[in-house]
Amino acid sequence: MNSAQRREYLRALDLQPWVLRRARDVADAPQAAQSAPDDADLEWPQLRERVAACRRCALSETRTQTVFGVGNIHADWLIVGEAPGADEDRQGEPFVGRAGQLLNAMLRAIGLAREQVYIANVLKCRPPGNRDPAPTEVKECLPYLERQIALLRPKIILVVGRIAAHNLLRTEATLGSLRQRIHHFGAARVPLVVTYHPAYLLRAPSEKRKAWDDLKFARGVLASV
């Protein structure tokens, strides 16, 4: 493959050609923003199209379809999970299986319909076998979620599950130690509350009382914003 063919191939994959840069050029380069510049200016329709065509990591080779997010783009609440599962991969919508049904019930318990919130995941593609997301996958996909948050401007983010919490808060603390605390996300310092993932609650129903306490806590945080 000659250089012209290589450049054309990379353009087709929406990738930038690798160019050797002098050390001074690298040192003088501005620090990258949280979201890649080519994502930061996208509005909802363009962002959805970018995600649907994404080839930034190997998950694009195994997915059925991307799972962009669903809900009210003017919502006060943003619910963030880890990654799509098998049901989500088939239907293209987050939290549609048994865990999704429980999430809907959890929202109703605090007076919210699914249609009133926005729901998304850290990853937009399902990891094979529902394994944990790899750090490289999160690195490539997180700018999409960051742009969704910038467009949505939620008043509160409810993060469900340890993996999502670790990736958004950049911590390895236990989920138990992250609960019942007000965290903040991004430059806008959006209040963020952590609770258990509905899939975990299906396996450990005795923890549902703690999740209910977290939901009430999050509702109180929003009321104080």
Instruction: Quote the domain boundaries for residue 181.
Output: 32-224
User: Would you say residue 9 lies in a domain?
Assistant: no
User: Would you say residue 14 lies in a domain?
Assistant: no
Predicted local distance difference test score (pLDDT) of residue 38: 79
Q: What percent of the chain has pLDDT over 70?
A: 84
3-state helix, strand, coil in the chain (%, to 5): 50, 10, 40
Mean pLDDT across the stretch 216-222? 98
**Measured between alpha carbons, how far is 111 from 42 in angstroms, rounded to an integer?**
32
Predicted local distance difference test score (pLDDT) of residue 84: 97
User: Would you say residue 6 lies in a domain?
Assistant: no
User: Would you say residue 45 lies in a domain?
Assistant: yes
pLDDT band at 94 (very low <50, low <70, confident <90, very high): very high
Query: Picking from 34-43, 96-105, 145-154, 171-180, which range would have the lowest pLDDT averaged per residue?
Result: 34-43
User: Would you say residue 21 lies in a domain?
Assistant: no
Residue 134 is part of a domain; what is its CATH number?
3.40.470.10
Contact criterion met (CB below 8 Å) for 165 and 178? yes
pTM: 0.83
**Matching residue, tokens 């999740």:** 211
pLDDT by residue (tens digit) across 18-58? 443 333 333 333 333 344 447 889 999 999 999 999 999 99
User: Would you say residue 26 lies in a domain?
Assistant: no
Predicted local distance difference test score (pLDDT) of residue 2: 46
Predicted local distance difference test score (pLDDT) of residue 63: 98
Provide the angle, in degrees to the nearest 10, between the axes of the packed helices 98-109 and 208-224.
Answer: 50
pLDDT by residue (tens digit) across 132-161? 999 999 999 999 999 999 999 999 999 999
Query: Picking from 1-10, 163-172, 177-186, which range would have the lowest pLDDT averaged per residue?
Result: 1-10
**Could you give the number of structural domains in the chain?**
1
Q: Please report the DSSP string for 3-33 in residue order.
A: HHHHHHHHHHTT-PPP----HHHHHHSPPPP
User: Would you say residue 163 lies in a domain?
Assistant: yes
Q: Are strands 118-121 and 77-81 parallel, antiparallel or unpaired?
A: parallel
User: Would you say residue 15 lies in a domain?
Assistant: no
